[in-house]
Chain A
Amino acid sequence: MSLAGKVRAARDVVFRELGGEMVLLNLKTGVYYGLNETGAQMWSLLVELHDPAQVVSALAGEYAAERAHLERDLKALVTALREKGLLDVEEA
């Protein structure tokens, strides 16, 4: 997938910081997922900005990492969350 589409938390997904990580739970399917600090920040930006490209820009302003590296990590996260039914993606 590209980072050009829009994303949002899937319907019926609740999330909260618990036990030192961000826990995402789909109430309908019972699927849950735990995100570490960096993953949690990516998730928060995704549900706030809905635009993965903007998320990469925001992260690039904060981390001294190459943009390509951030894009790769974000793509991997978006793909995993989409496969688990925790994130909806509208392809551009």
Chain B
Amino acid sequence: MARSPWVPPAYHPGELDRALLPLCGPEPLLPPLGVNPEPLLARAVELDVFPLVFHRLRRSPHWLHGCVSPAWEERFRSNAARNLLLDTEQERILRSLRAAGVGAFPLKGTRLAARLYADLALRAQVDVDLYVAPEQLPAALGALEADGYRRLTAVGLPAERLAATGDEFTSECSLEKLGQPMPILVELHWRLLPLPAKDLLSAGEKGGLPEELDFLYLCVQASADRWGTLKTLVDLAHWVRRQPPDWDKLAAAAERLGRARVLSVTLQVLLHYFDLQIPEWVPARLAPAVSQALPRAAVANPFVPAPPLSPAATHRLRSALQERRRDRVRYAAFLLRPTASDLAALPLPRALGFLYWGVRWLRLAGVLNAGDEREPALAGVRG
């Protein structure tokens, strides 16, 4: 496959990671006899791939029963029970939102686990992620709050204002249901990919994105973590191997939405770690989108925790991932718009809403403290 200038960082895995990576792949290879399962499982927990690794080891012929702590078995079962709870709650919430006239659909989560692994127990999950159209965010929040959920973010911010903020990386509102034996977290998202609202609304009514957009969404999620989250790479590798996407449709969608760069890097990263069959013409077709170099820190190593990027570096990277000039301009304009954090920090009457633009720009310039907002300000950042 043709390589772009953006190659994943040098990968010099230790013994544990050399055993772990093939065990997570879509065609799992068992570790050699003699590898101690205890540290291997602990490493799988660190990398958030424990359920898949434990399940595969347990079923392997040389897994020695009784040689590992029973706590692993309990951890696996606890994850399975939690996913069952989240799946049940997700279906209940979707029914409740439909009754409120909101067309929502799940992102990732148990639906992805069922699709890729045919078993909810094999993927770790902490919350229920749902997409709702921005126009329907107020109704969705109203329905969830009536159901006992309380906002953890954007508390007190009118939903109509919240719906006007965020981009595909930052449009999210977290809610928690209290008084449950296991706390349930829900995250609502209202922007995905640069898709027109009517397309997303229509996807909501149909219960989900078309397959190629769903795959592309997961690629964008991988890029948000600089391809440094092993769990996401494992998901994508299973998808490519077990249910190969319609490559022509996928490439066309990526080109149409200005995400060919993200798709191209994702496929290169996947090929770096996994043995996958991707038709030669796919990277060749995407090559024009990757002719320009990405910042050196663009792609992280999933086995070595990287320090978080500075806010400026994050923005530079996200801007560099926009392959079209108009998307880069749109991203720059987005940075100047008030964020949910700006709105929540200083409640102002609607008539004074224009002042939020000043707050945003002062925050960007570093004059005001950016606080702990998810969309980092450029304050105090060296180039």
Tell me the A residues contacting B by CB distance below 8 Å. 14-16, 18-21, 23, 25, 27-32, 34
B237 within 8 A of A: no
Q: Are B181's CB and A21's CB within 8 A?
A: no
Question: How distant is the Cα of A20 from the Cα of B122 in the complex, in angstroms?
Answer: 10
* Interface residue ranges, B against A (CB under 8 Å): 51, 55, 58-59, 76-78, 80-81, 83-85, 88, 119-122, 180-182
- Can you spell out 28 A-B residue pairs with CB atoms less than 8 angstroms apart? A14-B84, A16-B120, A18-B84, A18-B119, A19-B51, A19-B55, A19-B76, A19-B77, A19-B119, A19-B121, A19-B122, A20-B55, A20-B58, A21-B77, A23-B84, A23-B121, A25-B81, A25-B84, A25-B85, A27-B85, A27-B181, A28-B181, A29-B181, A30-B180, A31-B181, A32-B77, A32-B78, A32-B84
- Which residues of B lie under 8 Å from residue A15 when comparing CB positions? 84
Q: What are the residues of chain A within 8 A of B55 when measuring CB–CB?
A: 19-20
- Per the bound structure, the CA–CA distance linking A30 and B182 in Å amounts to 6
- With A18-B119, A19-B122 known as contacts, the answer to whether A34 contacts B85 (CB < 8 A) is no
Contact indicator B77/A16 (Cβ below 8 Å): no
Least CB distance from A2 to B in Å reads 30
Knowing A19-B55, A23-B121, the reply to whether A14 touches B88 (Cβ < 8 A) is yes
Which B-chain residue is minimally distant from A28 (CB atoms)? B181
CA distance A34 to B78 in the complex (A): 9
Q: Select from chain B the residue with minimum beta-carbon distance to A26.
A: B181
Q: When the two chains form their complex, are residues B88 and A27 in contact, meaning their CB atoms are under 8 A apart?
A: yes
Interface contact B77-A34, CB-CB below 8 Å = yes
| Bound-complex Cα distance A34 to B55 (A) | 14
Docked pose: A76 CA to B84 CA in angstroms: 25
Tell whether, in the assembled complex, residue A18 and residue B80 are in contact, meaning their CB atoms are under 8 Å apart: yes
Q: Which residues of B contact A29 (CB under 8 A)?
A: 181
CB neighbours (8 Å) of A14 from chain B are 84, 88
Residue of A nearest to B84 (CB): A25
Known A19-B51, A19-B121; contact A34-B80, beta-carbon cutoff 8 A: yes
Give bound CA distance, A37 to B76, whole Å.
17
Closest 3 interchain pairs by CB?
A: A30-B181, A19-B121, A32-B81
B84 contact set on A, CB distance < 8 A: 14-16, 18, 23, 25, 32
Q: Given contacts A21-B80, A27-B88, A32-B77, list 13 more A-B pairs with CB under 8 A.
A: A14-B88, A18-B83, A19-B76, A19-B77, A19-B80, A19-B119, A19-B121, A20-B58, A21-B77, A25-B81, A25-B84, A28-B181, A30-B85
B181 touches A23 (CB 8 A): no
CA distance in complex: A68, B88 (Å): 38
Chain B residues within an 8 Å CB radius of A31? 181
Of A23, A28, A30, the contact of B77 (CB 8 Å cutoff): A23
Q: What residue of chain B has the Cβ atom nearest to residue A15's Cβ?
A: B84
In the complex, A25→B84 CA distance in Å? 8
Distance of A45 from chain B, by nearest CB (Å): 21
How far apart are the CA atoms of A75 and B184 in the complex, in Å? Answer: 34
Please indicate the chain B residues that have their CB under 8 angstroms from the CB of A25 in the complex. Answer: 81, 84-85
